[in-house]
Amino acid sequence: MSSDNLPGVPEEPVARHGMFGVTDSGDTSGYGRLVVRRPPKASSARPYGEGFDEIADALEAAAGDAFGAMVERVVVDRGELTLHVAREHLVELMAHLRDDPALRFELSLGVSGVHYPAETGEELRAVYHLCSITHNRRMRVEVSCPDADPHIPSTVSVYPTHDWHERETYDFFGIVFDGHPALTRIEMPDDWEGHPQRKDYPLGGIPVEYRGATIPAPDNRRSYA
């Protein structure tokens, strides 16, 4: 729906028009008038509830005076805890989460990437899903970096299984994990240009032949505009 039909709904902080931001031919979504508004950055205040205050207290005790510089904001939403962490303190914070007896997030479920083109200075995110088998808890750590400086410290030294996960995130989003033992592409060919899961990656692709039928690349399909 056009914003003109929604009186009183502000455009700020950002509004995106159309599926995938497409404004010309190539919109194969079937609905180019969609308006998506991103809410302001969330930040939760104490008490967090659901046992999350205990995690925050234990981490603050382990990190000491550095806690304020490590954790930029805390978000509790839909029963999930997310710590937004400054990238320069990521490895130290991860070590606290893994090793401190009151925390013991000894299992990482992986690293994933996210791309927010409209978030100036924080366009790229690395997201870490952690699990404490000892205390039966789950949480998430999120780190941002600008598109102009897409560097985040590698956490392979803390969670060795992040080796392949960081390679995949680099491959698809272009985040460079400094200190990774061998940061190379893991799924795309070594000479591939660009990072296919970024939202600014072109929709065009390679025509596919399937059981005798030829499917054209997305940018060559008919437009529904």
Please, is 113 exposed, middle or buried when counting C-beta atoms within 10 Å of its C-beta (0-12, 13-18, 19+)? Answer: buried
pTM reported for the whole predicted model: 0.78
* Separation between Cα atoms, residue 164 and residue 186, nearest integer Å: 8
For residues 169-173, give the mean pLDDT.
Answer: 97
Q: What is the DSSP string of 58-71?
A: HHHHHHGGGHHHHE
For residues 93-103, give the mean pLDDT.
Answer: 97
Superfamily of domain 42-194: NADH:ubiquinone oxidoreductase Nqo5 subunit (3.30.460.80)
pLDDT tens profile 137-146: 999 999 999 9
Considering the chain, what is the average pLDDT of its residues?
A: 85
What 3-state class would DSSP assign to 161?
Answer: coil
Domain boundaries, the chain: 42-194
pLDDT at 185 over 90: yes
pLDDT at 208 over 80: no
**Which of 193 and 34 is assigned the larger pLDDT?**
193
